[in-house]
A and B are shown apart, each in its own frame.
Chain A
Amino acid sequence: MSSVLAFLEINTRVTPQEITRLSWEAMAAAHTLAAGLDLPVDLALVAYPGNPIFATIHGKAPRTVYAIDHTLLHAYTSDAYVAAYAQLIEKVKPAYVIFPHTYQVRDFAPRLATRFNEVLISDVTGIDPTPAHGHPGATFVRQLLQGKLNATYHHPGTGPCFVSVQAGAFRADTAEGGDTTIEPFLPTLEAAHIRVHPGEPFRAAAQTVDLGSASILVSVGRGIKEEANLPLVQELATALGAELAASRPICDNGWLPMDRQVGSSGQTVAPRVYIAIGISGAIQHLVGMKGSQCIVAINKDENAPIFEVADYGIIGDLFDIVPALTAAVRNSGT
């Protein structure tokens, strides 16, 4: 029988290990899809069957949870994951395979899909399970051109439809009881087939700034043009009692240390106020800050994607607006 199979991911870099937030969102996406198509949901994760992590699975009850177990899966490699996941997919024969769109999934899922002559529909922000436009099956929404354009996709292929969902696009289900069977799945893997040899993950430098605890963040992007212009935003941050943050290009240039970077490769933040200055709002940045309670965008491009998530916007030259804003904050006596 056809089904929706969602693969969950475990964060092994925290103690105790936990199923990632993105995985809960992927599970919610799987349930949305399955409810519309009247299919059962199965889950799968790499863990030994007695792992206490299974007790943490909440949300709508799946039909089966597969515990994919093999010593060659303890450290992630694309070769072993592709082989193990392919074997489970061949056994379960799902109509849809859902992943959280994480760095790890981006590493192996396109290869896994290719093994089935399929193509991953990656970084999906919306799912409509009802057949439309004369195509059977679901329609998926993705972002193009760094978030400036949306596109709908469908799957005319005959094999399983592979989908990865963007962080924050689906709301994780709240707890709901239900009976679930945990079924061990032992893939056949050979060490000789694993060509990539991973080292231990490490953090480059000790985090000296905890952006997560700041109530106001003043964040700066490409629009600042040069390092010499940074004092402009630093002064605003000081006037507001805020921490200074940045988008990736600023940290890549070495203008600010990496631990001030917000986005998928940096920190995820949700302050009371996030002021984005000269930040266009590429997807990789938005996933790190769109949970902020109030978002202010200052940008000269009125079509910049940052305005899609902003509560307040000022369209104009940051070199005029930021000094005016610093002055206004100082005058207001805060």
Chain B
Amino acid sequence: MKIIVAIKQVPERDARIRISPGAKWIDLQDVEFALNESDAYALEEALLLKEANGGEVIVISAGPERVGRTIREALAKGADRAIHIESADEDELAGYDALGVARLLAAATKDEQPDLVLTGLQSDDLGLGQTGVILAELLNLPHATLILKIEKTDNGLKVLRELEDGWFQHLELPIPALLTIQSGNTKLRYATLMGIKKAKTKEVRTVSVADLVAADPALKAAPVVELEEVLLPSKQRTTQLLTGTPAEAAAKLVEKLRFEVRAI
């Protein structure tokens, strides 16, 4: 099976949040980046499928030069080659909405003819949860979301989908198909030393956003949804902070729970 995995590099979970001048995003100075969590599970599922059925795993990622590091990590874990849609700077892709980004992904992979396209369920930074599903529509592929398990069958795939409130469902679909993967169902592998060494020689095809636009002017940023400004959330409840040593804070909390909340 030929599998494409779309991955995204996002700010680390505990990154410090300071709003950047212009209030369009956060200040990225001193921010560490990591592979988006559910994308890591999408990559893991792809590698498992390849191990079981043979084939090739190709990762694709869009973003500035820094994204190269996350791509190398995916190659070190076992992906065979990569496509990097490189943006000129931190701002270029911000001009695109989810449909625009999905169009870039579709254009950069148009000669690949994969059997399966995987993405994470949603990104930990923008949280749109849409890029994969939009890509399925653009590529005219059947899709399913929130997938926990993938099994290859004689005529396609059998997958396990998570529903709400602890319910699940099996689905069958033909290939080629697109699936978005939910986190947590498998254990993620680490890159081995051998894998890291091999990754250095694996192919990364870099294509700039400008190149894609030059080849197809319809790929120029023309968002139908625009981010206006970012702001720090206002609190939904007033939090009383209980301070002091752990013992003092604990004693204060017990007093609150007993005399104000009257719960203990």
User: Could you tell me which A residues sit within 8 Å of B by CB distance?
Assistant: 13, 78-79, 102-103, 106-108, 110-111, 113-115, 117-123, 133, 135, 139, 142-159, 195-204, 207, 215-216, 240-241, 248-249, 252, 258-259, 261, 264-268, 272-273, 280, 283, 290, 293-297, 301, 303, 305, 307-317, 320-321, 323-325, 327-329, 332, 334
Contacts and interface: CB of A to CB of B under 8 A. Distances in A.
B263 A325 contact: no
Contact of A264 (B13, B164, B240, B254): B164
Instruction: Point out which of B102, B125, B138, B236 has the most chain A C-beta atoms below 10 A from its C-beta.
Output: B236
Interface in B218-255: 223-233, 235-243, 245-247, 249-251, 253-254
A272 B261 CA distance: 8
Contact of A311 (B102, B165, B225, B239): B239
B165 A252 contact: no
B264 A199 contact: no
Contacts of B142: 78-79, 195-196
A111 B143 contact: yes
B263 A273 contact: yes
A111 B170 CA distance: 21
Contact of A201 (B145, B163, B173): B163
A145 B170 contact: no
27 contacts: A106-B133, A108-B133, A111-B133, A114-B102, A114-B133, A135-B228, A143-B233, A149-B231, A150-B230, A152-B231, A156-B223, A157-B225, A196-B171, A199-B169, A203-B168, A207-B166, A265-B164, A273-B261, A280-B13, A294-B261, A308-B237, A311-B239, A312-B239, A314-B250, A321-B246, A321-B249, A325-B250
B207 interface: no
Contacts of B261: 272-273, 293-294
Contact of B17 (A159, A197, A303, A312): A303
A198 B26 CA distance: 41
Interface string B90-133: 00000001110010000000000000000000001111111001
Interface of B: 11, 13-17, 19, 26, 97-99, 102, 124-130, 133-134, 136-138, 142-146, 162-174, 177, 182-185, 223-233, 235-243, 245-247, 249-251, 253-254, 256-258, 261, 263-264
Given A78-B144, A203-B168, A310-B239, A153 B227 contact: yes
A24 B125 CA distance: 29
Contact of A156 (B137, B167, B226): B226
B185 A252 contact: yes
Nearest to A286: B236
B127 A123 contact: yes
Contacts of B228: 133, 135, 139, 151-154
Closest 8 CB pairs of A and B: A157-B224, A252-B184, A195-B142, A110-B130, A199-B170, A110-B133, A324-B250, A324-B246
Nearest to A108: B133
B173 A145 contact: no
Given A111-B143, A195-B173, 16 more contacts: A79-B142, A110-B130, A111-B134, A114-B133, A119-B130, A119-B225, A149-B231, A153-B226, A157-B224, A203-B166, A301-B14, A305-B233, A307-B239, A320-B246, A321-B250, A328-B251
